[in-house]
Amino acid sequence: MKITDLELEQYGIYQNESWKPAAGCLNVIMGENESGKTTLLRFIRDMMFGYERGKWQGKKGNMGFLRADGSAYRIYRDGKNKWAVNDKGEEFNDELSSLWWHGLNRGIYEKIFAVGLEDLQGTSFLADDSVRSRFFMLQGGDLVSGAMKQADEEMEKLLVSSSQGKRRINQLLMTLAEVQEALEHLSGQEKDFSILQKKQALLKKEIDKMKISLAADQEMDKQLEKRLGAWEYYKRAREIKRQLQLSEQVKLFPSNGKEQWGHLVSRMKLIREQQEVLQPKIDEYRPRAKEEIIPWTGMEQELEGLYVDLGQWKQIAAEEEELKRTKADWARSFVNLGYALPLWDRALSLKDACADVDWKQGRDLAQSAGVRNNELHFWQQREPEVEMLEEMIQGGTLLSSEEAWRKYEADASKIEVLLNEEAALTEKTDALSAQKDTRYTFWFWLGATALIAAVVFVIMFYMSLMGYTVLYGAVGASVLAASCFAINNHVFRRKENQIRELEVQIDEIKKEWHEVASRFPDHVPEDKKDLPAFHNMLQAKRSDFYGMQAKQQAFAWKRETVKKQQSAHKDWAEEGKLLKEAQAAVLDEWYKWLEANKLPKVLPEKVSELQEQWNKIYAEEGRGKIIDVRIDGAQEKLAGFAKRAGSIIRAAGMSCPITPESIAYIYEENKKRNLEWRSISEKNRQHDEYEREMNKLKSDWASCEREMNALFRLVNAVNAEDFAEKVNAHENHDRLLKDWENVRHDIRLYAGGEEEFNRLWATLESGRYDEWMAEHQKLAEKIAKEEQELGDLQRQQGAAENEIFRLAGDDTITKTLQKKKELETEIGQTMEDWLTALFIRSLMGKTQKRYDSGKQPKIIKMANRFLGRMTKGKYSLIVNDDGKDVSIIDEFYRKKESKVWSSGTGDQVYLAIRLAMALSFGEQMETLPIVLDDIFVRFDEERQKETLRFLMELGKEQQIFLFTCHERTMKLAEEAGREENTGEFIQLRNGCISKRI
């Protein structure tokens, strides 16, 4: 496919712009930043593969192109709409990649055909399955890669090798473990249901009985409270009645002490009565501390919590015994497991724990051993050939060196030059000797004429015919005459002088000829006539010398070649030595690793089998550790229970074993003593209240005595009786009568009716207040106790009813068992799917490897040719099987790894590989345009020139677009284009496309 026309109707900064790229030469496009270079690159890709997702708004354009069979097409893209038309006018809507390129997508195209500076950084793209399937396998290979990718995705969806994995199989296994744990927990619910029903019936009977007793006690206490509440009114009424009786005896009383006396009498009487009531209560009871009743005071909550946990304590104790039996069974199974594993084949020790093996290190070591074995294999295959060198037979000539030949040739040339010079000088001498001698030359006659003129000018001056002018003329003519005579004399003697000079030169030449002839090894010509024979002899000598030199040069070249081969063989041998040492070192590390991890001694190739069998041991050991952890957990919990129980038993001061039964006994005893303490604490509180009230009464009594003594002094009373008589005599009889009626009225209202009043009054007159109070206190304590017990029973009844209701409607066990069965079935089916995907992945991997081995050498061979063109044959290319490692060999057969390359060399290597892959695709399916974007940044000028010449030549058969933003690169490209007479050079400026002038 070759692009013939680009129409950018609406695309970024390009509006109604068009360009017809050259199809048979390199297209070089130069544009500065923001000139539209990247936009044009994107337009080409969008036309071929469609607009990227969400980036089609406001874009419109079309592209014409020719296919390899000569048919013409044009693809149109307007926003989301696309269609293509061929040269026959037929229209279709399929994407080009699905029609002709076997589903090649934009990403693969950009990885191979669109090359930027960042893409020339390595061959990691060769390890990409999507790239390998398209280019190393080509027809049908993408199906293998697709199947492998689909199998990998399917395996990844189902299972990951992590305890925290969230894939389907991982989740199913975790759910199954949770269901199993739930089943173990639910196994005791049926027994609990029966116990709860019995407990519910017993609690209901006790509650009914407690309600009846409580109602009777509350009614009796209500009657007592009414009596006790009316007692104060009754005492007041009784006092008023007593004062009325006294008032009948009183006639006169001083008015100044009436109110104070009445107040003091009332207060003191009240105080005395209260003291009389309080003192027996204080005396009859001694307060007691809570520790006397409940020695374990302060630990009630711990006792309550431990009592609640008694069921768990017993269950854990039973679980501990079961776990110990399970551990014993596991130990026997673990010891015998070693005989079932081929690589172990021995009994396993319970004392030696399974080491935490770093399998990544083991696989790395095994892989390193495999790599070393492969390196040794390939090293043996590439043993360099060393040719045999035969000794060169030296000739008998004296001219065995270039220096001797140059000296010989220089002497021969010197002889020839001397003979030619001698012949020439001899000819000149003969010619001069043959010339006629002339005494008077032109210069003589000119001098004579000038002399005569001078004489004439002198005569004219002396005859005064003219002035000083003629005198000056005479002097000038004299000088001219003298000069002419001198020249005439020189010309007359020149022949003789020239002949003498020539003869001297001939003598010197002969002398030099004799000197050269004396050291010349061959026959020397004596005159010019002997030169042709001399020339023939020199030609024969020259042919012999250069023939010998050619043989010597060939021998020297072959000797150098053999030296290089020997050096290469030596390097090869050294490399083999190092490889063997490396192999031995790797194997040593491998066996040390096995020994360090307490693994059996096996070959590195069996690392997977070793890991698989180790995993079985590790898993079995893990099961034992889990049992140990559960035993330790159970023992730890039991120790915690024992510790809690021990502290409670010590606090109670009891000598009983630390068992759940002991705690149950203490708990029941605690309930009894708490009930006893509630009664005692109420008595203690009442006693403290009585003490405080008594102290206050004593203080009030002393205050009243001080005030009464003061009143005595005012009325001159002798004593209290005297003062009382005086007060009573003065007291208002009418007010007392009114108070008497008021008090009776209050008691009547309190009683609620006349009949009740009479019964209450009669009861109050009996005066059994203390008995009522004691009975009331006992009833209050009994009611409080009964209410508390009733509340506890009702709470227990509610908890039992709730638990019974929950258990009755709970079908969790049935559902859990069903869920377990479903999980086990689903895990089996899912594991079958995962193993199927694993088998497909393995099979497709082997298929792909066989495909790779058939296609890769052709591409590498082409890349080698391209690299040689770009580097003038300086480097050749080596790529390993998986395409990840690339090396080069220079003209001296030295191998260079990628880490020692210069940046420019690396870019040339990877560019050659990219171009080879692109052309390989074109040979198999469809040629696609190659786009190169600023790839010369790290190239020096010489590399740029050579690469541009290569691209110019390659562009004649493959359409290539070279984009650059550097003016110097464009100028170098134009120079290369003029040299190759090819190339199209385009300038981009602010959305305009034009040819460079």
pLDDT digits (tens, 9 = 90+) for 38-84: 888 888 888 888 888 878 888 999 999 998 888 899 999 998 889 99
Under 8 Å between Cβ of 990 and 13? yes
Kindly report the average pLDDT of the chain as a whole number. 78
Under 8 Å between Cβ of 951 and 957? no
User: Is 556 inside a domain boundary?
Assistant: no
Whether the pLDDT of residue 421 is over 50: the answer is yes
Q: What SS3 class is residue 87?
A: coil
Whether the pLDDT of residue 124 is over 60: the answer is no
Q: Which of 779, 809, 839 is the last residue of a domain?
A: 809
| C-alpha to C-alpha distance for 39 and 988, rounded to whole angstroms | 11
Under 8 Å between Cβ of 218 and 694? no
- Residue 502: CB atoms within 10 A of its CB come to 20
User: Is 841 inside a domain boundary?
Assistant: no
**Sequence-distant (≥ 6) Cβ neighbours of residue 949 within 8 angstroms:** 976, 979, 980
Under 8 Å between Cβ of 872 and 891? no
User: What distances in angstroms separate CA 663 from CA 80, 355, 649, 650, one per listed residue?
Assistant: 82, 45, 8, 12
Average pLDDT over residues 874-894: 76
Q: 3-state SS string over 596-620?
A: HCCCCCCCHHHHHHHHHHHHHHHHH
pLDDT tens profile 340-393:
788 777 777 777 666 677 888 888 888 888 888 888 888 888 888 877 766 655
Query: What pLDDT, on the 0 to 100 scale, is given for residue 244?
Result: 64
Q: Are residues 497 and 422 in the same domain?
A: yes
Q: Which amino acid is at 814?
A: T
pLDDT tens profile 631-651:
888 888 888 888 888 887 777
| C-alpha to C-alpha distance for 674 and 680, rounded to whole angstroms | 10
If we measure between CA atoms, which residue out of 951, 931, 952 comes closest to residue 115? 931
Whether the pLDDT of residue 273 is over 70: the answer is yes
If we measure between CA atoms, which residue out of 353, 356, 355, 350 comes closest to residue 327? 350
Following DSSP, what letter does each residue of 959-978 receive, concatenated?
-EEEEE--HHHHHHHHHHHH
64 membership: H or E segment, kind and range: strand 60-66
Q: Are residues 281 and 241 in the same domain?
A: no
User: Is 889 inside a domain boundary?
Assistant: no
Q: Are residues 419 and 502 in the same domain?
A: yes
Specify which residues 689 forms β-bridges with.
Answer: none
- Structural tokens at position 271: 């105080």
Under 8 Å between Cβ of 983 and 952? yes
Beta strands at 960-964 and 27-31: parallel, antiparallel or unpaired: parallel
- Structural tokens at position 22: 């050259």
Q: Are residues 514 and 431 in the same domain?
A: yes
Q: Are residues 747 and 684 in the same domain?
A: no
Domains contained in the chain, number: 4
User: Is 375 inside a domain boundary?
Assistant: no
Is the pTM of the predicted complex or chain greater than 0.75?
A: no
Query: What pLDDT, on the 0 to 100 scale, is given for residue 860?
Result: 81
- Structural tokens at position 21: 């790229």
User: Is 471 inside a domain boundary?
Assistant: yes
Q: Are residues 207 and 302 in the same domain?
A: no
Q: Are residues 279 and 226 in the same domain?
A: no
46 membership: H or E segment, kind and range: helix 37-49
Q: Are residues 432 and 502 in the same domain?
A: yes
Whether the pLDDT of residue 432 is over 90: the answer is no
Task: Tell me how long the chain is.
Answer: 997
Residue range of the domain that includes 412: 402-519
CA atoms within 13 A on the CB side of 548: 16
Query: What pLDDT, on the 0 to 100 scale, is given for residue 137?
Result: 44
pLDDT tens profile 814-834:
677 677 777 778 878 888 777
Query: What pLDDT, on the 0 to 100 scale, is given for residue 76?
Result: 92
Q: Are residues 278 and 318 in the same domain?
A: yes
Average pLDDT over residues 202-215: 84
User: What distances in angstroms separate CA 100 from CA 7, 111, 130, 131, 924, one per listed residue?
Assistant: 23, 19, 18, 17, 11
What CATH number is given to the structural domain containing 939? Answer: 3.40.50.300
Q: Which of 755, 779, 809 is the last residue of a domain?
A: 809
For residue 80, give the DSSP letter.
T
Q: Which of 519, 549, 584 is the last residue of a domain?
A: 519
Query: What pLDDT, on the 0 to 100 scale, is given for residue 3?
Result: 92
User: Is 98 inside a domain boundary?
Assistant: no
- Structural tokens at position 698: 């004593």
User: Is 850 inside a domain boundary?
Assistant: no
Under 8 Å between Cβ of 967 and 30? yes
Average pLDDT over residues 107-132: 65
Specify which residues 888 forms β-bridges with.
Answer: 877, 896
- Structural tokens at position 291: 């520790």
Q: State what percent of residues in the chain have pLDDT above 90.
A: 6
User: Is 133 inside a domain boundary?
Assistant: no
Q: Are residues 649 and 693 in the same domain?
A: yes
Q: Are residues 648 and 696 in the same domain?
A: yes
Beta strands at 984-989 and 27-31: parallel, antiparallel or unpaired: parallel
Q: Are residues 412 and 445 in the same domain?
A: yes
* pLDDT level of residue 468 (50, 70, 90 thresholds): low
